[in-house]
Amino acid sequence: MRRRAPGLNKPRTPALQGRFRLGENPSMLGPQPEASLVSPTRVATEPPSGLPHMTRAGGALTRDIEILDEYGQRRTIAIPIERPLTVFVDKRELVTLMTLGAAPELLVLGYLINQRLVGSPAEVASITVDWDVSAAAVKTHLGIEHLEARTAKRVVTTGCGQGTVFGDVMAGLDAVRLPDAADARIRQSTLNAVLEVMRQQDSVHRRAGSVHGCALFQGAELLMFVEDVGRHNAIDAIAGWMAMQGVRGHDKLFYTTGRLTSEMVMKAAHMGVPMIVSRNGVTQMGHDLATRLGMTLFGRASNRHFLCYCGFDRFDSEPEPMRPSVRVVSASPQEG
């Protein structure tokens, strides 16, 4: 049962107090025993004025359990921890997110931005996450105009754990302006380098499975990597990080382990990122939306293999040599 917490605008314990600063390693947002985030390689040393105060309420990402395998052997493995996080905006309950909890404050900020409920971090005074009551209290400076009407219509998405997109988000796509193909493009060698970085990336998924990962690249340089139980949470956390760091998406590439559905394409577009790479495939609506916006989508991307679904004009192809086909011949059973 969900519980509401009185006085959510104040942290319950001194250990939760603190402010996220540019230049701090995002993995310091609470105890992080496992690699769920990669810190940016280039950040400002001092935050600009007007950033929200944030708690650092990260926690353990996995838990050990005993299993019985097909050989009758008992052994210990790690599984991801899934937590509910109910978001309150100015004391009004908005939504409950199911999350790994790696960067809950960035997740909440990115969620509000990607839902077009706030335009920038400057509109938010504080984000306080308290796992004792599984709640995040968001305090804005001036409130969110017509919040109840704007969140009345909800679309249950295909996201893991069923994500929610509020009704007016799609309408805002008409205002999205991505850079021209001449100003934002990628070479095949750079794409291969990105895939190699992700192949070697330490992750919760590698140890425990059952999570999605999202990453932000500039060229072949990994700027940020986040894992969560759903791909929507991971992209929202990256959106929150970009907003806090003042990072623009115009020359960036977004990577995800999840499929490219319309809502994933939509969120990347709102973040200003014109190129997306997925280890998975693309849906018809995701493809149509990306084509309409002039985005480049790569799917089935692993090792040096990929499919470019649309936005060919942003891609500088460097074709691989054709590999000879291998014919498999089954041996005929010997006559006895």
* One-letter identity of residue 74: R
Q: 14-64+75-175: which CATH number, 3.40.50.2300, 3.40.50.720, 1.20.1250.20, 3.10.20.10?
A: 3.10.20.10
Q: What is the pLDDT of residue 19?
A: 30
Is residue 207 within 8 Å of 78, Cβ to Cβ?
Answer: yes
This prediction's pTM:
0.78
Q: What is the pLDDT of residue 329?
A: 65
Q: What is the pLDDT of residue 2?
A: 37
Q: What is the pLDDT of residue 34?
A: 43
CB atoms within 10 A of CB 170: 15
Owner of token pair 């990669």: 38
The closest of 256, 281, 283, 282 to 268, measured between CA atoms, is: 256
Q: What is the pLDDT of residue 301?
A: 96
Domain 186-316, architecture per CATH: 3-Layer(aba) Sandwich (3.40)
Each of the 336 residues of the chain gets a pLDDT tens digit; together they read 333 333 333 333 222 223 332 233 333 333 333 445 544 433 333 345 689 999 999 789 999 999 998 899 999 999 999 999 999 999 999 999 999 999 999 999 999 999 999 999 999 999 999 999 999 999 999 999 888 877 776 654 545 444 455 555 566 677 888 999 999 999 999 999 999 999 999 888 888 878 899 999 999 999 999 999 989 999 999 999 999 999 999 999 999 999 999 999 999 999 999 999 999 999 999 999 999 999 999 999 999 999 999 999 999 999 988 877 767 666 655 544
Q: Give the residue extent of every domain in the chain.
A: 14-64+75-175, 186-316
CB atoms within 10 A of CB 218: 15
Per-residue exposure over 234-263, b if at least 16 CB sit within 10 Å of its own CB, e if not = bbbbbbbbbbbbebebebbbbbbbbbbbbb
Q: Which residues does 47 contact at the CB level (< 8 Å), separation at least 6? A: 21, 22, 23, 244
Per-residue exposure over 28-42, b if at least 16 CB sit within 10 Å of its own CB, e if not = ebbebebbbbbbbee
What are the respective helix, strand and coil percentages of the chain, to the nearest 5?
A: 25, 30, 45
Q: Which residues does 251 contact at the CB level (< 8 Å), separation at least 6? A: 179, 183, 184, 218
Per-residue exposure over 56-76, b if at least 16 CB sit within 10 Å of its own CB, e if not = bbbbebbeeeeeeeeeeeeee
Q: What is the pLDDT of residue 312?
A: 96
